[in-house]
């Protein structure tokens, strides 16, 4: 196989580890700290997870840990969407496992959680792992989105682990994937299966975080990748001076990616979904805000600009949030009846008598193509796939109509030429930044020490991430601490809660302080490509979000 020069150089990169992880793994133990509770719905979550609820936080500390020397089999699964650094989690796990006992085995389940159920796996050897170090993607074993929630799935998972001689399973994924991990850990304990389950926080969306998880891996690389592209677009916009660029950014619900990219590039407009929801802005009000900015810039002769749109925006606009919630609940209850309808006309007639009058009015006001996107295939959790909704095109169409009305009133004389972009898959498999390469390798190492300490139902965490890697503090927190009750397929379930943008937090406040200035003046920043070689202040810096939150 041919490799680029960058590939060859990245294979040789040695990730930086926290000081505590640089010694003998048998001299590092898991030290119990304070007991924990869920942030809300404690009684319901405790009832759902009686074996794993209330466990203490743990930190890694110097001490004797002979269990790390035991020969063991460990399984690993990549779950959910790809995120830069996943291969380094596996590399860190592999290296720590082999450092404990060279005869230990690491087994990768193929194709995500379904690979556990089907027992499809491959032994991960040094030759295999070395071919993926410091690279993007999940190619090494693939991924998937299967939910583990039935007794039959649990039994098959346990059988697969026992057949392969595995005493532990590491689940690398986001909030839903780590809900899988929590359920598996609880089931294995309740049924007496001696299989330890440890989770690792992954998602480019940045919504798997809390007081203990400072950031999910992949967020750093993805936002830097998108910011490079946005900066290039800003440079082009300022050069051509004739296009408005509307950039939709990946992020299923939360606007962390849009906020971080705004901080890195200073666009003329960045909508933050959580603020739209707090202000209870209607779609018409969002359109009015955008049209007003376009008109104001046109007065200065600037018939161009850059606007960032979060992927999940439409769910945060109150009338559409209610509409989508009703559609989700309705289709969860009547999936077969809806599936039998062959065209959009039949679907609309079916919906008319089942949605509330308010929801149906909001639905009817949308263009047909947006209506079809709202009714398209659901995600594995029964929800609208917001990435399929072309929100940026809906907004520009309505902004264009509003500008025509303003022109007729003599309040606008510019030219509005919108262009559309959607940055999503471009960032999920990029070469991980030095930060993500280091962070993920540390998470893999930490996951081994948690399972070696018998800490089941835990998430591997590394804290102090705004400091140099030497000072990072690895440990573990119980998965149940992050849970809340959420409606799925029409029923309440205990799931790991998504973290939305904190409008009282430092990153949003920093953005809000400057956005009016950025809107009318062209203070664009051009981050350029991710740098892998050079001084730490160029190559190793974490996101602006993380630096502000931890300052």
pLDDT tens readout for residues 488-541: 766 788 999 999 999 999 999 999 999 999 999 999 999 999 999 999 999 999
pLDDT tens readout for residues 417-439: 999 999 999 999 999 999 999 99
Which of 21-30, 71-80, 314-323, 412-421 is least confident?
314-323
Domain 220-424+505-549 is in which class? alpha beta
> According to the model, what pLDDT value does residue 327 have?
86
Tally helices (H) and strands (E) across the chain.
23, 15
Task: Quickly count: other Cβ atoms within 10 Å of residue 413's Cβ.
Answer: 11
> According to the model, what pLDDT value does residue 205 have?
96
Say yes or no: do domains 17-218+432-488 and 220-424+505-549 share a fold: yes
Cα–Cα distance measured from residue 27 to residue 45, given in angstroms and rounded to the nearest whole number: 35
Cα–Cα distance measured from residue 236 to residue 116, given in angstroms and rounded to the nearest whole number: 48
Q: pLDDT-based confidence at 380, cuts 50/70/90?
A: low
Instruction: Provide the 3-class DSSP secondary structure of residue 179.
Output: helix
Is 502 considered catalytic here? no
Tokens read off for 433: 């930044």
pLDDT tens readout for residues 397-418: 999 999 999 999 999 999 999 9
> According to the model, what pLDDT value does residue 382 have?
60
The answer, yes or no, to whether residue 381 has pLDDT greater than 80, is no
Domain 17-218+432-488 has CATH 3.40.50.1970: no
The answer, yes or no, to whether residue 551 has pLDDT greater than 70, is yes
Q: pLDDT-based confidence at 319, cuts 50/70/90?
A: confident
Contact call for residues 248 and 420 (beta carbons, < 8 A): yes
Catalytic residue (one of 175, 205, 220, 302) = 205
> According to the model, what pLDDT value does residue 477 have?
98
> According to the model, what pLDDT value does residue 417 have?
98
Per-residue exposure over 432-466, b if at least 16 CB sit within 10 Å of its own CB, e if not: bbbbbbbbbbbbbbbbbbbbbbebbbbbbbbbebb
In the chain, where the domains are located: 17-218+432-488, 220-424+505-549
> According to the model, what pLDDT value does residue 334 have?
82
Average pLDDT (255-283) is 97
Average pLDDT (135-140) is 96
The answer, yes or no, to whether residue 487 has pLDDT greater than 80, is no
pTM: 0.93
> According to the model, what pLDDT value does residue 375 have?
81
């Amino acid at each position: 196989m041919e490799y680029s020069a960058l590939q060859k150089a990245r294979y040789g990169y040695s990730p930086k580890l926290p000081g505590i992880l640089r010694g003998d793994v048998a001299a590092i133990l898991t030290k119990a700290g304070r007991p924990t509770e869920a942030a809300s719905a404690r009684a319901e979550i405790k009832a759902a997870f009686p074996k794993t609820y209330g466990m203490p936080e743990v930190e890694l500390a110097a001490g004797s840990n002979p269990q790390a020397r035991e020969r063991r089999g460990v399984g690993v699964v990549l779950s959910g969407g790809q995120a830069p650094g996943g291969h380094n989690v596996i590399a860190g796990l592999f290296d720590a496992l082999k450092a404990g006992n060279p005869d230990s085995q690491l087994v990768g389940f193929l194709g995500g959680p379904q690979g556990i159920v089907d027992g499809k796996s491959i032994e991960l050897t040094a030759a295999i792992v070395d071919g993926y170090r410091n690279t993007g993607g999940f190619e090494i074993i693939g991924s998937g989105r299967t939910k583990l929630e039935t007794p039959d799935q649990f039994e098959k998972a346990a059988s697969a682990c026992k057949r392969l001689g595995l005493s532990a399973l590491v689940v690398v994924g986001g909030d839903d994937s780590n809900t899988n991990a929590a359920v598996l850990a609880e089931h294995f304990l309740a049924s007496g299966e001696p299989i330890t389950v440890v989770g690792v926080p992954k998602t480019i969306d940045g919504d798997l975080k809390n007081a203990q998880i400072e950031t999910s891996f992949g967020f750093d690389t993805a936002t830097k990748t998108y910011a490079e592209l946005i900066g290039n677009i800003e440079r082009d916009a300022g050069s051509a001076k004739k296009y408005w660029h509307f950039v939709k950014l990946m992020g299923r619900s939360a606007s962390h990616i849009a906020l971080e990219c705004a901080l890195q590039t200073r666009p003329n407009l960045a909508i933050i979904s959580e603020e739209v929801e707090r202000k209870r802005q209607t779609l018409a009000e969002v359109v009015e805000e955008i049209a007003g900015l376009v008109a104001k810039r046109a007065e200065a002769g600037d018939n161009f600009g850059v606007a960032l749109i979060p992927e999940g925006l439409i769910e945060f606009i109150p009338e559409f949030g209610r509409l989508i919630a009703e559609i989700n609940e309705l289709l969860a209850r009547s999936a077969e009846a809806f599936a039998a309808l062959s065209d959009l006309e039949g679907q609309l007639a079916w919906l008319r008598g089942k949605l509330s009058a308010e929801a149906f009015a909001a639905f009817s006001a949308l263009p047909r193509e947006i209506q079809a996107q709202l009714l398209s295939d659901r995600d594995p959790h029964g929800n609208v796939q917001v990435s399929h909704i072309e929100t940026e095109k809906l907004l520009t169409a309505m902004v264009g109509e509003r500008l025509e009305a303003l022109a007729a009133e003599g309040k606008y004389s510019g030219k509005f030429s919108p262009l559309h972009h959607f940055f999503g898959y471009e960032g999920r498999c990029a070469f991980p930044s030095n930060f993500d390469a280091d962070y993920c390798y540390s998470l893999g190492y930490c996951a081994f020490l948690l399972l070696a300490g018998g800490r089941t139902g835990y998430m591997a965490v590394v804290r102090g991430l705004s400091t140099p890697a030497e000072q990072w503090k690895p440990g573990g927190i119980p998965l149940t601490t992050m849970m809340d009750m959420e409606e799925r397929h029409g029923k309440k379930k205990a799931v790991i809660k998504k973290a939305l943008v904190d409008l009282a937090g430092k990153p949003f406040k920093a953005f809000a302080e400057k956005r009016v200035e950025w809107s009318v003046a062209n203070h664009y920043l051009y981050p350029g490509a991710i740098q892998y070689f050079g001084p730490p202040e160029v190559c190793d810096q974490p996101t602006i979000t993380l630096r502000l939150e931890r300052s």
